[in-house]
Structure 1
Amino acid sequence: MTSDSPRTERPPVRIVHLGLGAFHRAHQAWYTQVANDAGDDAGDAAGGAAADRNGWGIAAFTGRTPDAAVVLAAQDAVYTLIERGAGGDSARLIESISVACDGGDEERWRDAVADPAVAIVTLTITEAGYRATGPASAGVRLVDGLRARRDAGAAAIAVVSCDNLPENGAVVRDLVRGLASSDPALLDWIDANVSFVSTMVDRITPATTPRDREIALELTGFADAAPVVTEPFSEWVLSGAFPAGRPDWEVAGARFVDDIEPFERRKLWLLNAGHSCLAYLGLLRGRATIAEAMADPVCRDALEELWAEARPVLPFDDSELDAQLAALRSRFANARIEHRLVQIAQDGSLKLPLRILDVARARAGAGLPVGVAEARTIAAWIIHLTTDQARDPGAAALAASLDLRAAEASAHAALALLEPGPSHVGPAFAAEVVRQLVELLSTGRFTATTTETQGVR
């Protein structure tokens, strides 16, 4: 698909974003572009001020370094979005980011959030970013911007977290309220004027390569130094109020729901858990990407077993789950999206409690048998920790102490790290982890040459 040259006229800034990166440009900025192209008038429908008929522009601020803003600003914040399907690439120019800004420019940030025309602040920070402290941290910057908005007398605003963690709106709300608690007047203003919206986001966005820049030029005729590559699939589920209006993101497929928790659980237990399963088993079998793991019958069968164990504890009917799983099979098998297992395998000690142990707890609570596939994923992670591919600071002490010749001790130590305090998965699940660990180590279900070079102990 060929796109016209970038327009010089840009939509007025109505959204401020923190965390300018590839995912934001493949997801929220894309949804906003589609809404703008449709000529949205969602402000009245969203219960706020009428939307600007000239569209919704984004002032996008970088998180840690100004690099992304420098590159984008040099090309008027226009960039190419390449959708990489199994059958080929398509591309379009995205112009919803009206201005790309250095996140370190505190005065510009405050002015942007305080602007009365701005109705929404969106965030893509990552889990670790919410725990960061200091003047440059996301929470401090957000409170600083809201204080400036209060001082400017601007109207109510929605803060929308687009990060991959459960109840992200509540997480941001608690972070902001905690940081503002030393200023009771500001805290009262936030409680009265700021809506915190929770969202579930999903779109795989691999790193851009030099070849992708060539493809962007071939498809659009636009010499783009910062194209973004993503899969054709995207999903966005939102829950919360937009007191000053919002774009008509529905035209791009966004869903607005009263309760987002079931959708978060579905993503964690199907997509994210599936990624973890393929990552740990796939790496042990010498695979490098999700698509390679999907092509391996051992990994694929383990994934299907994992999904089958999650189905009875998810609050969706069979038709919706069938559609979701069909989409996941297609996405995971798309070899043209290089989603690398080493990246997915990082920080398992933070990810596995939500992705795997929560399913085990739900099955135990429902009186269902122990999930063998969940236990196998934990066992594969334990082995992964003993390889030189492991990147899991939260499990560094555990990894240093593991001796896989003592499978029972290794399994119990790993479960104690994942579930500190009283166990809710139960002794039967722990016993199954031990059994799966022994089986993986003894039956050769991962390649010996790979584990030898990775230094399995």
Structure 2
Amino acid sequence: MAAAGAASVPAAGAASAPAPALSRAALAAAGQPLPVAPVRIVHLGLGAFHRAHQAWYTAHADDAADWGIAAFTGRSPDAADQLRPQDGLFTLIVRDEHADRAEIVPSLVEAVSGDDLSRLVELLSAPSTAVVTLTITEPGYRSRPDGSPDLDDPAVASDLAELRGGGRPATTIGRLVAGLDARRWAGAAPIAILPCDNIPDNGRFVRAAVVGLAEAAGLSETAAWIRDAVSFVATSIDRITPRSTPDDRATAETLTGWADAAPVVTEPFHDWVLQGEFPAGRPHWEAAGARFVDDIEPFERRKLWLLNGAHSLLAYAGLRRGHETVAQAVGDSVLRAQVEAFWDAACRHLPDGLDLPAYRAALLERFDNARIEHRLAQIGQEGSAKLRVRAAPVLLAERAAGRDGAAAIAALVAWVALQLEAAAPPDAAEEALAAARASDSPVFELLRLLDPALVDDPAIVAAVTEGVADA
């Protein structure tokens, strides 16, 4: 089941007439049927990135006809409400510096509200379900830095009570535990879980969250079964996917002839690196360019530090300099120099064999694509979680090597300044951030929230304090 290219999608109706709504039945009537693949993948966190990345890779696998995706939303059911009338179909607009092209992606065969726990349990209990993928962002796991569940989080505490009583957990990890518990009782085969969020060693991280929640809920037999029968695959994912706009819906209609309520815009570049086992099988994602490796850590660090670290630096410093998008910020010679300096620092702590000069050059080309309106305010959300893995490790490595870490400090200065100005993008840790801002030592407390190791080094605290004062 290959994705439908725009060139092969027939224009429907006269140009002056409203375009017909996208659906499988409408496409079939127009002579281009897109069969429904059986559900073998469950996705948690239905959003634009999942559709531009994992759904696209699955649609372009050699065996795509065997692998359908049932995707569940997160906090809002809006994406499911938009995609359900379209039978899961959506238009992917690939936008380079000069033009757009579009394809209709058919791999998503069910779009389900996240609160439909009965359907999730049914699918996770099914022997045919082989893979679970997640894109719920770092705060969505509601975990401590080591991955274990944050038992002080009220939502986690509520889930524990629900799981102990056979009720309805509300968090994503709580629902996943309920589904895996049902799978154990059903006697279904082992399964693979793939977190696709920007977290170092994300397979181990999510394993700690899932096993820890099951144990805390008293589901000891299920926790033991998860340890033995569930593979947690580490992944490194990359494809810039900004929020879509009403203009993008018009573009999708122009390119395909179909009215799509939920198109996705993305860049031409895509990357997926995976490490781990798939005990119940998987799509042949290699056909679309995915790579399976024995050691994912170098690829994770390259992506987290060079792409994501630069994004965070541009977000906070760019917002303070009046920019709105990545392209605008990286076009600022001051910020471009800061990015290059940050990359120089990060590359000193990456191993050989990653072709770093070419990777950096490709990143600049991607950042310079002004037609991808990747907004700094979007990138800057959840800064306390993001900087913990994107900038703090580079700074600590530089300090351990005897250098001042000035390039990484620049990112922290910009973020702290926005926090103190009450101008930072939204963050799930706002309660703790507000307490830090109101303290007698706000810079110290903000840095401590990022990583306690930062405030163990007085030179870091002094440099950030001085930088904020001069900002």
TM range (shorter): 0.7 to 0.9
Distance, in Å, in 2 between the alignment partners of 1:144 and 1:78 is: 28
Distance, in Å, in 2 between the alignment partners of 1:226 and 1:185 is: 41
Residue 17 of structure 1 corresponds to which residue in structure 2? 43
Q: Does the CA contact (< 8 Å) of 1:2 and 1:221 recur in 2?
A: no
Distance, in Å, in 2 between the alignment partners of 1:351 and 1:310 is: 16
Tell me whether 1:229 sits opposite 2:278 in the alignment.
no
Residue 152 of structure 2 corresponds to which residue in structure 1? none
Tell me whether 1:429 sits opposite 2:440 in the alignment.
no
Tell me whether 1:7 sits opposite 2:42 in the alignment.
no
Q: Does the CA contact (< 8 Å) of 1:282 and 1:341 recur in 2?
A: yes
Tell me whether 1:67 sits opposite 2:78 in the alignment.
yes
Residue 268 of structure 1 corresponds to which residue in structure 2? 304
Residue 12 of structure 2 corresponds to which residue in structure 1? none
In 2 relative to 1, CA 2–388 (structure 1 residues): closer, same or farther, beyond 3 Å?
A: farther
In 2 relative to 1, CA 19–422 (structure 1 residues): closer, same or farther, beyond 3 Å?
A: closer
Q: Does the CA contact (< 8 Å) of 1:273 and 1:356 recur in 2?
A: yes
Tell me whether 1:398 sits opposite 2:430 in the alignment.
no
Q: Does the CA contact (< 8 Å) of 2:63 and 2:283 recur in 1?
A: no
2:60 is paired with a residue whose SS is: helix
Residue 326 of structure 1 corresponds to which residue in structure 2? 361
In 2 relative to 1, CA 98–422 (structure 1 residues): closer, same or farther, beyond 3 Å?
A: closer
Structure 1 residue 422 displacement after superposition: 7.6
Structure 1 residue 150 displacement after superposition: 1.7
Structure 1 residue 374 displacement after superposition: 1.2
1:380 maps to a residue whose letter is A
Structure 1 residue 389 displacement after superposition: 2.5
Structure 1 residue 413 displacement after superposition: 4.5
For residues 339-371 of structure 1, the C-alpha deviation after alignment (integer angstroms, 9 at most, x for no partner) is: 111222233222223222211211233x24212
| Residues 142-157 of structure 1 aligned to structure 2 (within 5 Å) | 142-157=176-191
Residue 312 of structure 1 corresponds to which residue in structure 2? 348
1:71 maps to a residue whose letter is Q
Structure 1 residue 420 displacement after superposition: 2.5
Gap regions ≥5 residues in structure 1: 41-53, 403-408, 442-457
In 2 relative to 1, CA 324–148 (structure 1 residues): closer, same or farther, beyond 3 Å?
A: same
Tell me whether 1:386 sits opposite 2:386 in the alignment.
no
Tell me whether 1:136 sits opposite 2:162 in the alignment.
no
Distance, in Å, in 1 between the alignment partners of 2:264 and 2:453 is: 43
Residue 77 of structure 1 corresponds to which residue in structure 2? 88
For residues 279-316 of structure 1, the C-alpha deviation after alignment (integer angstroms, 9 at most, x for no partner) is: 22211211111110111111111111111111111113
| Residues 235-254 of structure 1 aligned to structure 2 (within 5 Å) | 235-254=271-290
| Residues 85-104 of structure 1 aligned to structure 2 (within 5 Å) | 85-104=96-115
In 2 relative to 1, CA 90–422 (structure 1 residues): closer, same or farther, beyond 3 Å?
A: closer
Structure 1 residue 80 displacement after superposition: 0.4
Distance, in Å, in 2 between the alignment partners of 1:9 and 1:422 is: 54
In 2 relative to 1, CA 416–174 (structure 1 residues): closer, same or farther, beyond 3 Å?
A: closer
Structure 1 residue 435 displacement after superposition: 4.3
Residue 183 of structure 1 corresponds to which residue in structure 2? 219
In 2 relative to 1, CA 433–15 (structure 1 residues): closer, same or farther, beyond 3 Å?
A: same
2:452 maps to a residue whose letter is P
Residue 23 of structure 2 corresponds to which residue in structure 1? none
In 2 relative to 1, CA 184–162 (structure 1 residues): closer, same or farther, beyond 3 Å?
A: same
Structure 1 residue 39 displacement after superposition: 3.9
1:116 paired residue among 127, 131, 146:
127
1:74 is paired with a residue whose SS is: helix
Q: Does the CA contact (< 8 Å) of 1:72 and 1:79 recur in 2?
A: yes
Q: Does the CA contact (< 8 Å) of 1:112 and 1:118 recur in 2?
A: yes
Q: Does the CA contact (< 8 Å) of 1:342 and 1:389 recur in 2?
A: no
2:51 maps to a residue whose letter is R
Distance, in Å, in 1 between the alignment partners of 2:448 and 2:180 is: 40
Q: Does the CA contact (< 8 Å) of 1:158 and 1:197 recur in 2?
A: yes
Residue 455 of structure 1 corresponds to which residue in structure 2? none
- TM-score normalised to structure 1 length: 0.86
Distance, in Å, in 2 between the alignment partners of 1:259 and 1:401 is: 42
Distance, in Å, in 1 between the alignment partners of 2:453 and 2:326 is: 34
Work out the number of aligned pairs and report it: 416
Residue 34 of structure 1 corresponds to which residue in structure 2? 60
1:389 is paired with a residue whose SS is: coil
For residues 236-260 of structure 1, the C-alpha deviation after alignment (integer angstroms, 9 at most, x for no partner) is: 1111100111111112111111222
Distance, in Å, in 1 between the alignment partners of 2:444 and 2:210 is: 37
| Residues 330-409 of structure 1 aligned to structure 2 (within 5 Å) | 330-365=365-400, 367-391=401-425, 392=427, 393=430, 394-400=432-438
Q: Does the CA contact (< 8 Å) of 2:448 and 2:454 recur in 1?
A: no
In 2 relative to 1, CA 422–210 (structure 1 residues): closer, same or farther, beyond 3 Å?
A: closer
Structure 1 residue 421 displacement after superposition: 6.1
Distance, in Å, in 2 between the alignment partners of 1:104 and 1:195 is: 25
Distance, in Å, in 2 between the alignment partners of 1:375 and 1:437 is: 10
Coordinate RMSD, CA, aligned: 2.0
2:130 maps to a residue whose letter is A
Q: Does the CA contact (< 8 Å) of 1:3 and 1:93 recur in 2?
A: no
Q: Does the CA contact (< 8 Å) of 1:114 and 1:152 recur in 2?
A: yes
Distance, in Å, in 2 between the alignment partners of 1:249 and 1:166 is: 22
In 2 relative to 1, CA 183–410 (structure 1 residues): closer, same or farther, beyond 3 Å?
A: closer
Structure 1 residue 214 displacement after superposition: 0.9
| Sequence identity (%) | 52
Structure 1 residue 433 displacement after superposition: 2.8
Distance, in Å, in 2 between the alignment partners of 1:382 and 1:15 is: 41
Distance, in Å, in 1 between the alignment partners of 2:361 and 2:453 is: 38
Distance, in Å, in 1 between the alignment partners of 2:141 and 2:445 is: 28
Residue 449 of structure 1 corresponds to which residue in structure 2? none
Between 1:225-234 and 1:184-193, the stretch displaced more is 184-193
Gap regions ≥5 residues in structure 2: 1-5, 10-26, 143-154, 160-168
1:313 is paired with a residue whose SS is: coil
2:208 paired residue among 174, 192, 195:
174
For residues 40-85 of structure 1, the C-alpha deviation after alignment (integer angstroms, 9 at most, x for no partner) is: 6xxxxxxxxxxxxx32111112222322112211011111001111
Residue 146 of structure 2 corresponds to which residue in structure 1? none
Q: Does the CA contact (< 8 Å) of 1:284 and 1:384 recur in 2?
A: yes
